[in-house]
Structure 1
Amino acid sequence: MRNFEKPTRSVAVSRQAMAATSHPSATLTALQIMEAGGNAMDAAIAASAVQCAVEPGSTGIGGDCFVLFAPEGSDKVVAYNGSGRTPAALTLDWFTERGLTEVPRQSPAAVTIPGAIDAWVQLHTDHGRLPFADVLAPAIRFAAEGYAITPRVHRDWSLEEGLLAADPTAARIFLPAGRAPKIGEVHRQPELAETLKRIAVDGRDGFYTGPVAEDMVSYLRSHGGLHTMEDFATARGAYVTPVTTDFRGYTIHECPPNGQGIVALLILNILSRFEAKGDPQSPDRLHIEIEATRLAYAARDVWLADPDKVDVPVEEFLSEALADRLAGMIDLRRALTDLPPFDMPLHRDTVYISVVDRDRNAVSFINSVFDSFGTGLVAPRSGVVLHNRGQSFSLKPGHRNVVAPLKRPLHTIIPGMVTRAGRVEMPFGVMGGYYQAMGHAHLISKVFDYGMDLQEAIDLPRLIPKSDGTQVEAEHTLPAAAADELRRRGFAIVPAEDPIGGAQAIRIDWENGTLTGGSESRKDGIALGL
């Protein structure tokens, strides 16, 4: 039960349909689409398109998209991988010749072929109900007529002024007064509006061929990129089979690699070896969660890559034996100083959208440009913000995730879905780059181990292990006593530079025929229902 004296908000509760997003305009758009006769897929695509306009730092049509879909309340979950591949001409030698040891952010080398529009069009064709033009109409209106800047959007935008100023198109569109727009100011993106109109009429061809593709390709090549019109014309996402694990009687579904959803399942498998009791913010529980995450992330960094290019040992990753082995390494007296090498098989910007409609179609939808404003490179005539997902590649020869032609990088964005007893239970997702797998596991644990409602679980203080040793970033709201005890056990607890992640979720109450939803208090958004 919520403590009504704490400065937070209640879960949203409704009967017919619900949407939860990180921006009020996107949530309202999703509800309006469903009121107009659209289903949950129509609503999710419309909301994502709106966020590409009103939250341009967090997402865009020049990014990637992953989706889980449970039709008509069933547990037959469909997954779509809308992540893009490298240009056919890009090789590791290109980086070696330039003396690069990592992929630069504001570089065409960080731009894989964007997969979001392919995903939208394919999912709408197969599962949508309204005309595609009607689905994109709200986003076109916001981009053309303008939208008011909300607090979190302003804050994230202002942090990227230097990045945006380095690109003439980005500066012209996103720094119209020589700075980020302030809270309450109105901003417009007329080039994006025209591009969305073209996509609304021509579908994927409106993005991957013709003037829009020509604009992106010529712009990238003018900066030294190797992208071609053929790379765009042949780009395709794919339906894939979800990976799953059982946790406390529920089945948790994630998209398979190249996404890191499998890592969330490994963390849950480790957590399932420990009894959940007492305070979810106790030092013991936090210790277990930190170590489970460190161990799972160490496995991720070695084994996760594009399964079309290398073998990814999914069965070993999700095996009982691996979970037993890793759980057995956790010592509540002290932090692990040496993580296993995994030499045998085994906070970024994104928007996440959760929608359930009257027919109990449930959509878990995530769209991203990775870092805020991605590369900060913007195609001049189409207004497309180009993502920097290629920064997730390794440049180490022989590494599974090493950059290669037509290869997808390790991907952080992961939608989640919960089912039980033949029915869908909850679409959910957590934003935040590499935090996402940890966030998925910990949200699920708080709801199903500790009986917390969605908003309570989302509002809890967050922490995340850093890649260097035992350092852990923690939000300032983490209880001081817990932080002190974790330090005593050998963890280096340091303040988080930014609020950690974001989340949305909707839970279906089949007995009462109702929906409850939670939306991230660290963002501007809201969960609302009909």
Structure 2
Amino acid sequence: MNQSVIGTKAMVVSPHYLATAAGARMLEQGGNAYDAAVAVSACLAVVYPHMTSLGGDSFWLGYHHSEGKVRGYNASGRSGYKANIEAYAGLAAIPNRGVRSIVTVPGMVDGWDAVHSEYGRLTWAEVLAPAIDYAENGFPMSKDQYHNTVQNEAVLARTLETADIYLPGGQAAKIGERFKQPALAKTLRRLAQFGRDEFYKGETAKEMTDFLAKHDGLLAGDDFADHKGSWVAPIEGSYRGYTVHQMPPNSQGFSAIMALHILEKFKLGEMEHGSHAYYQLCVEALKLSFRDRNAYLSDPAFTNVPLERLLDKNYAAALAASIEMNRASTEESQVLGSDTAYAAVADEEGNSVSFIQSLYFEFGSGVVAGNTGVLLQNRGSFFSLDPNHVNSLQPAKRTFHTLMPAMACLGGKPAVLYGTQGGEGQPQTQTAIITRMIDYGMDPQQAINEPRWVWGRTWGEPTQELKIEGRVSQQVLDSLANAGHTVRKVKDFDGIMGHAHAIRRDEQGFLQGGSDPRCDGAAIGW
């Protein structure tokens, strides 16, 4: 089991040790947390391709010491101009895989450029250098990538360009074998040379959109050329003296704040950690927040998301009063993707970056766009084809998004950076991590190591199960089942719980880093 890492100056955490090391290299070369974060993000797009890619989206929360405030950048893409319900006539839903699942423009590269150009200190080429190296010269196939590749062989084999990369010779590379992506290396080199616009207006954009046009895709050149992410003010809540920052809609971040506001009405720290009461309260608080998330979340440019009411503590008190300690409510979850990579960086100057990126499903659409090496996301497949649904498909619209990096501050300065992989599981695991640190005094690593749960569906599993890791006592499992939860005991450290990471700045100013033992990640601090 991973042990806590403590640093006096800086800390980097991510779900792949090579990406963590890339961030540390940027700091050693004189870069700041923003340089390191972009390097980590780009590296993850290479060494964790089942979870993230240049063809996906990202969300960023950052605190720059000179500004003294938290800012967010929404690097999620909008649907294409040709993307409308009529384009899927005769279908009940947008396909989950293949070219027709590619509905939204990838926002990732725009996010790198925005964050780096606003706050970075190193050159653009320097921060992309580790990613280029690993794409060109290869890296050891990780256990997590191998297992996900094997599980998704049928999806990866459907497209020649995808199969050539991820199933060389017709099968996945073995764990520890060198895995190279020369086409992706070429694309990254072009980005390093020509900048952000190469991906949205240059030869890379043309290659991707020509490929999509050839295969009856919806995204075209003007969709890419017109794309631009946005700087946003984070939404805020509070929990026992901490100010909790999340990304605003189209992110589901407000659901985690709602859950904390509900839990704040209970004396959680006086209840035994890992008891029936602990799990019951956390699960029920989250289910109540999901009910409102499912009712309202979409692109705020198209619909009103009543955040003032949802984040009001009087509303939280009313929701808290509805929770019964020995009875499970009958809320329903949605089918959300689970491929995501969360990471965070804190540097010696006091800068902090909490960020997350994704393809939606593992390997996204399963389609590599031509000879670019870029695997495209299927995030837009979550749009509804029901014109009356809050998240209905319309042109130039952002979809309901699971990605939600978090940052909790004390005295106006970052105290905890935290987040996790796993669509429906993200608010749940975030709630586990932050309550364990604040209510029970755990360090980040212990908070991550402790048994976790995930309620509801993951894609492909239409159940309302409460999955709980096997280290939870049978007595607690039985009591939850008796309360009406559909309890399923899973492995002691189960990947379905997501890959969580966290950094905490303690009372002495030391940085504590935690990395999830359920993945291939690492925390590096010094």
Question: For 1:240 and 1:440, how far apart are their aligned partners in 2?
Answer: 21
- Number of aligned positions between the proteins: 515
Match of 2:503 among 501, 506, 522: 506
Question: For 1:248 and 1:103, how far apart are their aligned partners in 2?
Answer: 43
Any idea what the Cα deviations from partners look like across 1:367-413, whole Å, max 9, x if unmatched? Answer: 11111110100012111000110122122221111111000000011
Aligned partners of 2:332 and 2:456 also within 8 Å: no
Aligned residue type for 1:373: F
Q: What's the secondary structure of 1:245's corresponding residue?
A: strand
Q: What's the secondary structure of 2:497's corresponding residue?
A: coil
Q: Does 1:132 align with 2:129?
A: no
Q: What's the secondary structure of 2:505's corresponding residue?
A: strand
Match of 1:174 among 149, 153, 166: 166
Match of 2:265 among 253, 268, 273: 273
Superposed, 1:27-176 pairs within 5 Å as: 27-72=20-65, 75-95=68-88, 97-176=89-168
Q: Does 1:442 align with 2:438?
A: no
Match of 1:192 among 170, 184, 187: 184
**Corresponding residue for 1:344?**
none
**Corresponding residue for 1:458?**
448
Any idea what the Cα deviations from partners look like across 1:63-120, whole Å, max 9, x if unmatched? Answer: 001000011287500100000000011111222x132334433233443100000010
Question: For 1:526 and 1:454, how far apart are their aligned partners in 2?
Answer: 13
Q: Does 1:355 align with 2:352?
A: no
**Corresponding residue for 1:384?**
374
Question: For 1:217 and 1:321, how far apart are their aligned partners in 2?
Answer: 49
Q: What's the secondary structure of 1:381's corresponding residue?
A: helix
Question: For 2:38 and 2:377, how far apart are their aligned partners in 1?
Answer: 19
Q: What's the secondary structure of 2:272's corresponding residue?
A: coil
Match of 2:286 among 293, 301, 306: 293
Aligned partners of 2:495 and 2:519 also within 8 Å: no
Q: Describe the shift of the 1:177–1:339 C-alpha distance in structure 2 as closer, same or farther (beyond 3 A).
A: closer
Question: For 1:352 and 1:469, how far apart are their aligned partners in 2?
Answer: 26
**Corresponding residue for 1:5?**
none
Q: Describe the shift of the 1:375–1:278 C-alpha distance in structure 2 as closer, same or farther (beyond 3 A).
A: same
Aligned residue type for 1:29: A
Cα drift, residue 339 of structure 1: 7.5
Question: For 1:447 and 1:75, how far apart are their aligned partners in 2?
Answer: 24
Aligned partners of 2:161 and 2:370 also within 8 Å: yes
Question: For 2:286 and 2:344, how far apart are their aligned partners in 1?
Answer: 25
Q: Describe the shift of the 1:479–1:431 C-alpha distance in structure 2 as closer, same or farther (beyond 3 A).
A: same
Q: Describe the shift of the 1:282–1:316 C-alpha distance in structure 2 as closer, same or farther (beyond 3 A).
A: same
TM-score, length of structure 2 as denominator length? 0.95
Superposed, 1:300-449 pairs within 5 Å as: 300-337=293-330, 348-449=338-439
Any idea what the Cα deviations from partners look like across 1:269-328, whole Å, max 9, x if unmatched? Answer: 111111112322101110111111111111111100100111111111111232122111
Cα drift, residue 520 of structure 1: 0.9
Aligned partners of 1:103 and 1:390 also within 8 Å: no
Question: For 2:340 and 2:115, how far apart are their aligned partners in 1?
Answer: 19
Aligned partners of 2:5 and 2:525 also within 8 Å: yes
Any idea what the Cα deviations from partners look like across 1:321-345, whole Å, max 9, x if unmatched? Answer: 32122111111121123689xxxxx
Q: Describe the shift of the 1:53–1:324 C-alpha distance in structure 2 as closer, same or farther (beyond 3 A).
A: same
Aligned partners of 2:161 and 2:368 also within 8 Å: yes
Question: For 1:309 and 1:74, how far apart are their aligned partners in 2?
Answer: 31
Q: Describe the shift of the 1:462–1:110 C-alpha distance in structure 2 as closer, same or farther (beyond 3 A).
A: farther
Q: Describe the shift of the 1:207–1:359 C-alpha distance in structure 2 as closer, same or farther (beyond 3 A).
A: same
Cα drift, residue 160 of structure 1: 1.2
Question: For 1:514 and 1:250, how far apart are their aligned partners in 2?
Answer: 18
Q: Describe the shift of the 1:242–1:338 C-alpha distance in structure 2 as closer, same or farther (beyond 3 A).
A: closer
Aligned residue type for 1:401: N
**Corresponding residue for 1:210?**
202
Q: What's the secondary structure of 2:145's corresponding residue?
A: helix
Q: Describe the shift of the 1:321–1:470 C-alpha distance in structure 2 as closer, same or farther (beyond 3 A).
A: farther
Specify every segment of 5 or more residues in structure 1 that has no aligned partner in the other structure, as ranges: 1-7, 341-346
Aligned partners of 2:271 and 2:277 also within 8 Å: no
Q: What's the secondary structure of 1:77's corresponding residue?
A: strand
Q: Which deviates further from its counterpart, 120-129 or 497-506? A: 497-506
Aligned partners of 2:10 and 2:347 also within 8 Å: yes
Cα drift, residue 498 of structure 1: 4.5
Q: What's the secondary structure of 1:267's corresponding residue?
A: helix
Match of 2:480 among 482, 486, 489: 486
